[in-house]
Amino acid sequence: MKAWRRTETRVARPFFALTDIEPALDGVTLLLGEEERESYQDHQQLDPADFEDLQLKIRTNIDIQQLVKRLDDKKDHFQLIMALRDPMLKKRVTKNTWNIEEIPNEILLDEDEVLRFGHRRELHITLALALCKSIEPNPGWPTKKGDWIAKRSFVIKTNTMSSAFDLRKMTADEAKLWTGFRGALIHVDYIDGRLLEEPEEDSPLATCYIAEDVYDSMQRATEGPLLQSLVMTEVVAGVLLAAGEDIEDATDVPKGVPLERILNHLGADKRMGLDQLKSIIRDPLKLRAAVHDRLDVISQLRSL
């Protein structure tokens, strides 16, 4: 059976009375880094070094007067909401809300929040014009708190191996069922062939399950960042071992497939050769050594 694919280009919205407001956030831009490089793109890929101490602003570019005029006496029922999502730990938090007439020209994101939700790896930001309180039903208008009439989402991620994985909790019972050992740290669910297929935004290369106590500790401000780095070395090595047959069977590396990305990151000054990767995955110790080297684990441990 063929996998289902969405063919519609946009989500159908029931609020037909306000369709003219849906593009209200189309002009929102990101200002990246100290130089405040402006970008209209919804998806940003950064080098790992650029994610360190990332300075991030949002320029709203919203026509406030037009919104006030259009929403009329209902304007006080709507707010601009900014939410941050941690895709690794599946956590979403509403960070700020503004009344329509108080929407700032620029929004500065706290560097600690960028680090806490992005883990120097991937950060999702959503802006939405939404109801902040329920209102009486009116044809074509939203009625429930949280209903949105315009939305804009940004994804900022590093171009790394680990950003292609979906991380989830694993209980001791699940660890026993999947690995045979209740105390297992990780379990990798890799779909055969994915390494040589065109990547899809909503379809990860592998789903990686992490012992729930460790997963929870990865969210803490103290040990979290270092623990994330150490666990990710096991995750990357585990995925490569799980994909061993695909790597062994590969005769070339089509442009744009995940295997090309992996070879680029495992190489130091230039891309690692396919034959070298095949040699490494036959020796788990060498494989982990290569991953430790590329993820700079020693520098992380020196910070203890």
The conformation of residue 4, written as its DSSP 8-state character, comes to P
CB atoms inside a 10 Å sphere around CB 246: 19
Measured CA to CA, the distance from residue 254 to residue 63 in angstroms comes to 45
The conformation of residue 203, written as its DSSP 8-state character, comes to B
**More reliable by pLDDT, 293 or 126:** 126
Q: Which amino acid is at 68?
A: V
* Cα four-point dihedral sign 286, 52, 82, 220: positive
CA–CA distances in Å: residue 288 to residues 129, 185, 194, 232? 47, 15, 21, 11
Strands 206-211 and 165-170: parallel
User: What does the pLDDT average to over 31-53?
Assistant: 77
Give the rounded distance of the alpha carbon of 21 from its chain centre: 27
Go through the domains of the chain in sequence order and give each one's CATH number. 16-158 (2.60.40), 162-302 (no CATH)
pLDDT, tens digit, for every residue of 186-206?
999 988 888 888 766 566 788
Q: Where are the alpha helices (DSSP H) in the chain?
A: 48-51, 64-71, 111-118, 172-179, 212-217, 224-242, 244-249, 258-266, 274-281, 284-294, 297-302
pLDDT, tens digit, for every residue of 49-87?
677 677 889 999 999 999 999 998 889 999 999 998 876
pTM: 0.56
pLDDT, tens digit, for every residue of 257-276?
888 878 877 876 678 888 98
Token look-up 């895709």 returns 87
